[in-house]
């Protein structure tokens, strides 16, 4: 899989080991979730005819990266990696069944931020990236968010709310 073509901001991660762990996390998630093409997966089941997972992840990552550059006081490698992986747990929360994407059995009991954190931990990603993944959604209200997690959290909700039809 050409990960840089799918997620162009991967090229901006300067730390080679971190970049490889991001790819490894996606490979693990795709294998466990039995996904072959992420372009076929909607980014949410809460919006009818939602655009693709890949588009959403790239939207969030681009917004987060621009904010990170403006701020100047965040770790851009961590920010990009976390933004690219913030929804990786959806690859196990959702499944394709009879040609439709639906909640998986696991997804009925465990939400994607927790699943994503487990995947990231399994490939050896650091605590700040786990914080970004786990704290980007409602679950983040229960823990302290690092600066990078705050940025990704807001970028994720901006993209979701506009996709939902904000006027």
Task: Tell me whether residue 48 is exposed, middle or buried, using C-beta atoms within 10 angstroms of its C-beta: 0 to 12, 13 to 18, 19 or more.
Answer: exposed
pLDDT digits (tens, 9 = 90+) for 13-44: 999 999 999 999 999 999 999 999 999 999 99
The alpha carbons of the chain give a radius of gyration, in whole angstroms, of 15
Q: How confident is the model at residue 140 (pLDDT cuts 50, 70, 90)?
A: confident
Q: How confident is the model at residue 167 (pLDDT cuts 50, 70, 90)?
A: low
Listed by start position, the domains of the chain span: 3-164
Give CA–CA dist 37/22, Å, rounded. Answer: 17
Q: Please, are residues 80 and 8 in contact by the beta-carbon 8 Å criterion?
A: no
pLDDT digits (tens, 9 = 90+) for 55-111: 999 999 999 999 999 999 999 999 999 999 999 999 999 999 998 999 999 999 999
CATH T-level topology, domain 3-164: Hypothetical protein af1432 (1.10.3210)
Q: Please, are residues 108 and 82 in contact by the beta-carbon 8 Å criterion?
A: no
């Amino acid at each position: 899989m050409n990960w840089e073509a799918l997620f162009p901001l991967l090229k901006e991660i300067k730390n080679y080991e971190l970049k490889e762990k991001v790819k490894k996390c996606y490979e693990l998630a795709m294998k466990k979730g039995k996904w072959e093409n992420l372009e076929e997966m909607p980014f949410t089941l809460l919006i009818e005819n939602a655009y693709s997972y890949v588009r959403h992840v790239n939207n969030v990552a681009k917004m987060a990266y621009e904010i990170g550059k403006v701020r100047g006081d965040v770790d851009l490698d961590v920010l990009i990696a976390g933004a690219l992986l913030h929804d990786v747990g959806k690859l196990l929360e959702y499944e394709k069944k009879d040609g439709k994407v639906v909640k998986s059995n696991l997804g009925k009991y465990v939400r994607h931020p927790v699943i994503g954190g487990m995947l990231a931990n399994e490939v050896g990603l650091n605590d700040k990236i786990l914080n970004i993944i786990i704290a980007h959604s409602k679950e983040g209200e229960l823990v302290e968010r690092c600066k990078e997690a705050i940025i990704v959290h807001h970028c994720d909700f901006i993209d979701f709310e506009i996709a939902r039809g904000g006027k």
